[in-house]
Amino acid sequence: MTLAPQSRLSGANIEHAGLHNQRVVLHAIRVAGTATRAEIAEVTGLTPATISNITNRLLDEGLLASAGQRRGGRGQPATRLVVNAAGAYAIGVNIDRDHLTMVAVDFEGTLRARISRETAFPTPDDVRAFYREHVGELLRRGGIAPDVLSGIGVALPDDLGRIDLPGRPADYDRWSTHDVASLFADPLHLPVTVENDAAAAAIGEMQFGLGQQHASFFYLLITFGLGGGVVVNSFYDRGANGRSGEIGFLMVEDRDGRRVPLQEIVSLAGLNRALRDAGIDTLDLDDPRVVGVAQDWVSRAAAALVQPLIAVSCLLNPGAVLVGGRLPVALVEQLACATATLMQHEGRHAPVLAPIRTAALAEDSPAIGAALLAFGHLLLPADIQA
C-alpha cells in the first residue's frame, strides 16, 4: 500500500512529543503494511532525523522489523520497515451476561489463541476461577511466554450488574461494587486495563481494523445486549459523561406496536428469545428451522435499526457504521444488507446515509479490542483512559 498524507497522522516536532511521535510512526507503518523512512517522514511531517531515531529505537526493541529493501534510483536502496507481530503480546477478556471469553493476540492484532465458556450471568468468583484455570493453557496454545506479555485488557458492559435483563439473578448487582481488575491479580501480576465492551471493540477496530479506512465511524456492538461506540477523526469520543453510543437504550416500535428498548430486539438475547419461542435451544445455522427463525429476526431487527441509524447518520455523519460482536458473521452481513436497503427507502430525504459494513474484528471483538488496549502506550493516541 502507498502512503498518502493524512492529517490524523500528523506528528509534532517538539521536545516532549517523543511518545506521541512514536505512536504516529507505528500507526503509519501499520496502515501502509511496509514503508521506508522517507515515506514515513512524508506522511507524518516529522523530520528525517526524528524518523531515523524513532525507527532505530523501535527496531532495537523488536517492535519493528526489516522487510527488505526497495531498489531503484540512486544511492543505497531504502530499507522497508514492517510492524513485528512478535514484538508484543497481550491477553484480552470479555465478560458478558451469557459468556466468558479470553484471547491472546500479537502486536498485529492477530488472534493467537482463544478459550470461551458459555455461562449464564457469571459472577466475579466465576470470572476469577475461569481466568486462573485457563490462562496457562491459553498461553501454551498461543506459544506465548508470560514474560513477553504487555498486560491484560478486560471488556464488559457498563452497568453489568444493574440493568435488568431477562434471567438476571437477584444478587447480580454485586458487579456494581466489585474491583474488576483485582480478579486478574494472580498468577501473572500484569497491568490490567478495564474498559466498556463497545469502547474496547471500537478502539480495536480503529487501530487494527476498518478504522484504517474510516477515520470517523459508529461502531454497533451486538452481544447479549446492544452497545455502540463513536470514533471521530481517529479518536474515541466518550461524550460528556462517558456514555456516548448508548444506542441500545433508544425506544423503538416493535412489529406488534409496543415501544421497547432497541436492545430488546437487536441483541443475542432478542435472537435467543425468538429461537426459544420456536422451541429451539441452539443457534445452529445448519438447521433449517434455525435459519427460518434467524431470517425473521434479521427482518425485525433491521426494521428496528432503521430510524436510530438514520439519526446516527444525520447527527454524527460517520464514514461508516461498523457492526461487530458475537452474532455469527453470516447474520451480521444479512442484517447490514437488510438495514441498508430499508434506510435507502426511509432515509431518502436525509442529506447523507452512512454505509453499513461488517467490522474487521467482528467476532470476539470486545475481547480482542480489550487485549489491544494493553498496547495503549504503543498505539495512535486515543482517549482510552478518561
**Together in a domain, 196 and 234:** no
Residue finishing a domain among 39, 63, 83 = 83
Task: Work out the average pLDDT over 80-107.
Answer: 96
State residue 382's pLDDT score.
57
Total domain count for the chain? 3
pLDDT at 74 > cutoff 60? no
CA distance 62 to 253: 54
**Together in a domain, 26 and 155:** no
The 8-class DSSP code of residue 85 comes to G
Q: Between residues 3 and 221, which one has the greater pLDDT? A: 221
Side-chain-facing half-sphere of 302: CA atoms under 13 Å = 23
State residue 315's pLDDT score.
96
pLDDT at 72 > cutoff 70? no
State residue 234's pLDDT score.
87
Give the model confidence (pLDDT) of 148-189 as tens digits: 999 999 999 998 888 877 778 888 999 999 999 999 999 999
Structural domain includes residue 275: yes
**Together in a domain, 234 and 194:** no
Contact by Cβ (8 Å): 310, 267: no
Q: What is the DSSP string of 2-14?
A: -----GGG----S
Contact by Cβ (8 Å): 310, 343: yes
Structural domain includes residue 322: yes
**Together in a domain, 220 and 345:** yes
Structural domain includes residue 370: no
Query: Which CATH number belongs to the domain containing residue 124 in this structure?
Result: 3.30.420.40
**Together in a domain, 334 and 240:** yes
Give the model confidence (pLDDT) of 309-357 as tens digits: 999 999 999 999 999 998 999 999 999 999 999 999 998 899 999 999 9
Q: Between residues 30 and 126, which one has the greater pLDDT? A: 126
Residue 8 CB neighbours (<10 A): 13
Structural domain includes residue 165: yes
**Together in a domain, 143 and 221:** no
**Together in a domain, 234 and 337:** yes
State residue 385's pLDDT score.
40
**Together in a domain, 79 and 125:** no
pTM of the model: 0.87
Contact by Cβ (8 Å): 151, 198: no
Residue finishing a domain among 158, 182, 202 = 202
Task: Work out the average pLDDT over 60-69.
Answer: 88
State residue 384's pLDDT score.
42
Structural domain includes residue 382: no
Residue finishing a domain among 83, 113, 128 = 83
Contact by Cβ (8 Å): 150, 375: yes
What domain range is 234 assigned to? 210-364
Query: Which CATH number belongs to the domain containing residue 74 in this structure?
Result: 1.10.10.10
Structural domain includes residue 358: yes
Give the model confidence (pLDDT) of 7-63 as tens digits: 455 555 454 467 888 988 998 998 889 999 999 999 999 999 999 999 999 999 999
**Together in a domain, 223 and 192:** no
State residue 168's pLDDT score.
85
Structural domain includes residue 375: no
Q: What is the mean pLDDT of the chain?
A: 90
Give the model confidence (pLDDT) of 240-295 as tens digits: 998 999 999 999 999 888 999 999 999 999 999 999 999 998 899 999 999 999 99
CA distance 294 to 203: 29
What percentage of the chain has pLDDT greater than the value 90? 74
Structural domain includes residue 315: yes
**Together in a domain, 54 and 151:** no
State residue 105's pLDDT score.
96
**Together in a domain, 198 and 258:** no
Give the model confidence (pLDDT) of 291-314 as tens digits: 999 999 999 999 999 999 999 999
**Together in a domain, 59 and 103:** no
